[in-house]
Amino acid sequence: MSVPKVVVDVVDYFSGAFGRIFGLRDDQYPESGVQPFSGDVYDRKHAKKDFER
């Protein structure tokens, strides 16, 4: 490979990455909004008692 070809390949590689990072969004995820929390709240007082070694 010649040096100019390597330089062109490197520039193409980084310009493609730059365009992917800073380009328009192309994701097709649905807008789901805020989801309700239905788990248990962490309680530091009781955590050690349940997980003693």
Q: Please state, in angstroms and rounded to a whole number, the distance separating the CA atoms of residues 17 and 15.
A: 5
Percentage, residues of the chain above pLDDT 90: 36
What is the reported pLDDT for 49?
A: 56
Residue 52 confidence class, pLDDT cut points 50, 70, 90:
low
- Residue 44, burial from CB neighbour count under 10 angstroms (0-12, 13-18, 19+): exposed
Q: What is the DSSP string of 1-53?
A: --HHHHHHHHHHHHHHHHHHHHS----------PPPP-SPPP-HHHHHHHT--
4-18: pLDDT as tens digits:
999 999 999 999 999
Tokens matching residue 10:
């490197």
For the chain, what is the mean pLDDT? 82
